[in-house]
Structure 1
Amino acid sequence: MSKLLLNLRNVPDDEADDVRGLLESRGIAFYETRPSMWGISAGGIWVTQDSDFASAKSAMADYQQQRGTRAREEYAAAKRAGTAETFGNVLRTEPLRVLLLVLAILFVLGLVALPAILLRG
């Protein structure tokens, strides 16, 4: 019976491509399901053979460890170079977006506090 190796919800295309290549290079049979039209299912990468699942999980764990290390190194390098995204940079480049998000947060907080305010009065 097939087993889900990777749910593709919020997975970047390059990571999904890397996982496909990893499985192909190790000769692990897999298939992919596409996202549903209504967004209920995000799709996934499934290992076909149960006997291959343990080695696929092991390879996936190694890959994720390497990808995490690489991402942290890239972020640290961007921070040192001053090119990392910060709140100040976003505020300078997209002030309207930040303002709208802050207003939306305040609106939601107001809705959450509204029952307490109405019960007190």
Structure 2
Amino acid sequence: MASLLFNLRNVSDDEADEVRALLLANEIDFYETPPSFWGVSAGGLWLPGTTQLAQAQALLADYQQARGERVRAERADARREGRAPGTWDGIRARPGQALGAVIGIVLMLAVVILPFLLLAR
């Protein structure tokens, strides 16, 4: 029976490429399922059997540990050099999303507070 090794939801393209290369370099048989059109399934990397599952999981755990350390170091360097994006950079990059979030928060607060304001009268 096939086993899901790596879910591709919220995974960057470079990370997915590195995991594919890792599996190929270690001669681990796998196949990939694409994400669904409606976003129900994000796709993933699957092993056709369980014979190589333990080896693949150990390789993946080592890879993720090393990648996490590397990415944290890159982020720390970017912060130190002032290149790391901040909150205002994110708002400037996606103003519509930021405005939608603010409107949603205001509407939710209004729905929560409105009954208390009406009862106070």
- TM-score, normalised with respect to structure 2: 0.83
Aligned partner of 1:66 in structure 2 is: 66
Aligned partner of 2:116 in structure 1 is: 117
Change (3 A) 1:119 1:56: farther
Q: Report how far residue 50 of structure 1 moved.
A: 0.5
Q: Report how far residue 106 of structure 1 moved.
A: 2.0
Unaligned segments of structure 1, at least 5 residues: none
CA distance in 1, matches of 2:17, 2:104: 36
For residues 7-18 of structure 1, what are the structure 2 equivalents within 5 Å? Answer: 7-18=7-18
Aligned partner of 2:102 in structure 1 is: 102
- TM-score, normalised with respect to structure 1: 0.83
Q: Report how far residue 62 of structure 1 moved.
A: 0.5
RMSD: 2.3
Aligned partner of 1:20 in structure 2 is: 20
Change (3 A) 1:41 1:95: closer
Give the paired residue count.
119
Q: Report how far residue 77 of structure 1 moved.
A: 0.3
Matched position secondary structure for 1:51: coil
Query: How many percent identity over aligned positions?
Result: 45
Change (3 A) 1:115 1:17: same
Change (3 A) 1:61 1:118: same
CA distance in 1, matches of 2:39, 2:108: 25
Could you list the per-position Cα deviations for residues 76-118 of structure 1 after superposition, in whole angstroms to 9, with x for gaps in the alignment?
Answer: 0011101111224445x4594545532332223323x157537
Aligned partner of 1:5 in structure 2 is: 5
One-letter identity of the residue aligned with 2:51: S
CA distance in 2, matches of 1:13, 1:94: 20
Change (3 A) 1:87 1:37: closer
Unaligned segments of structure 2, at least 5 residues: none
Matched position secondary structure for 1:20: helix
CA distance in 2, matches of 1:42, 1:96: 26
Does 2:45 align with 1:45? yes
